Structure 1
């Protein structure tokens, strides 16, 4: 897979391990041990995906994620400490697409990188789009083939992950889709557990962008203990 991956982690052993596994998959890897070095690099070079540790010596990973999101939409995967649930939620809320908990299995990391890149490449395809469905619901219009979404005739700026979640819910309008179904449909891997809150946080982010609320939803409804639906 021809893609440029940025790694930012001040733990040399972990950064080096990630680099080895990704290079074995034919990725171009750019590795930095500090946030400021990484920021200088991305100002002049194109990147397809970033892997950011939270604990960095100069700027923390949250702030680095926020700075990247001010200009760029490529996928961001956060590296979080074991059982730090707040870190996971904070990273996703700031615009990260996924997180990996340390210590991690290298093959899981590779699988998550590949899943994010597949979705990002598809979302940003430059070729002329084939005819595809236009999904409509209460002022929400999604042109799937053009990867465009309007809400009340105004552009709704979504990350590839948010677009994918919203598309699935629109395609199955009226039916409940569980978090596990959404996770497998988007990431297409087996690394799901009931404690995984990735989908929950992305749903929250979607609602914020759409001006929706969990208590009185106009678009995405939570069916407690089951999943989510648009009706």
Structure 2
């Protein structure tokens, strides 16, 4: 059974997240602050950590740094801080994803599932969706066993979307993940790359494509 560590000094939020995570069939390990979380990590097998940023004794930044130094597990940071500089610091210290309070508990569940799926993929170096296989170590795509050539940015864009099949990404989110926060170009570059990817997937008879969600962004589309 997947064991999820939830660290938050607010007992109400701790119980809320624990309830939704537990309802998904995951085993919950609770920690009332950062120091308690470190002790739980040392004594329990943990598969994923959900950590609050502002905690006494050891805050979320320090806890994330500790996890990255000693454990290879996904980290989801939950915080009231939504400024870019706070997110940048969190990602620099190794958090995998970021949710800003107030949040929908179902979003937490969705992100947990996506992170667990992604880490399983990274462990095997392969992501397979229908007849499309993506190898992360070789940066190679195959459709029905035939190699499909894509430049690195196109590969990373498709891989990001395919890793989170239920999630809609805005242009800005994709730029942050693939081009970086210091990217100063036109955000329409995403549209150009997606058009090229769609053309290549279509010509190779791939069972996936990229869907435009009007007014929101993009998500992976899997054909039945």
- Scaled by the length of structure 2, what TM-score is found? 0.67
SS at match of 1:177: helix
Compared CA separation, residues 15 and 25, structure 1 to 2 (3 A): same
Q: CA deviation at 1:214?
A: 7.9
Gaps of 5+ in 1: 133-142, 151-165, 206-212, 216-221
Q: How does 1:67-216 map to 2 (within 5 A)?
A: 67-124=66-123, 144=135, 149=137, 173-174=150-151, 177=154, 183-196=160-173, 200-201=176-177, 204=180
Partner Cα separation in structure 2 for residue 190 and residue 14 of structure 1: 23
Q: Which residue of 2 aligns with 1:18?
A: 17
Compared CA separation, residues 22 and 85, structure 1 to 2 (3 A): same
Compared CA separation, residues 82 and 39, structure 1 to 2 (3 A): closer
SS at match of 2:154: coil
Partner Cα separation in structure 2 for residue 108 and residue 183 of structure 1: 18
Gaps of 5+ in 2: 129-133, 142-147, 195-224
Compared CA separation, residues 176 and 75, structure 1 to 2 (3 A): closer
Partner Cα separation in structure 1 for residue 72 and residue 102 of structure 2: 27
SS at match of 2:28: strand
- Scaled by the length of structure 1, what TM-score is found? 0.65
Q: Which residue of 2 aligns with 1:154?
A: none
Partner Cα separation in structure 2 for residue 173 and residue 99 of structure 1: 29
